Amino acid sequence: MARIVFFEPRIPQNTGSAIRLAAVTGAELHLIEPLGFDLSEPKLRRAGLDYHDLAHVVVHANLEAAWAAMPDARVFAFTTQATRRFTDVEYRPDDLLLFGPEPTGLPPEVLADARVTDQLRIPMLAGRRSLNLANSAALAIYEAWRQADFPGAT
């Protein structure tokens, strides 16, 4: 199963929702510090409901530590600036789906990182700024899971 990676997330509810997403899909959720909240934050716990113990969540001190922990994975950076659609990729089980912080998205230096395999976008109507972080992660991980024919799902 592809892995969800949040680079420096700021809004605890989005990460809580992603924890729940990871629990119901079997995807790992990787969080790259600094985080804009504490993992014990009540808003994060509320958004994740009772799924926290069912999710595999890993926190990395920085981007380099995340890369070192997953050295051979392809990295797909999600950005509104990309030209390639997220549905145009044939995902592999060890892929990383990388998303940036809510107010800004991934910074240019992360998008330009040599580890980034490709930049992907989620189509939207013209004139819209972006989709919610947790919703974007859900679309992407479900596409990767769908391509694998939903192994383990009921």
Q: Which residues are annotated as a binding site for S-adenosyl-L-methionine?
A: 100, 122, 130
Cα 88 to Cα 120: distance, rounded to the nearest angstrom: 9
Segment (H or E) for 140:
helix 133-147
Q: Are 11 and 36 in contact (CB under 8 A)?
A: yes
DSSP code per residue over 89-126: S---TT-EEEE--TTT-S-HHHHT-TTEEEEEE----T
By residue count, the chain amounts to 154
What is the identity of the amino acid at 43?
Answer: K
How far, in Å, are 58, 92, 105, 134, 142 from residue 101 at the CA level? 17, 24, 5, 11, 20
How many angstroms from the chain centroid is the CA of residue 139? Answer: 10
Binding residues: 100, 122, 130
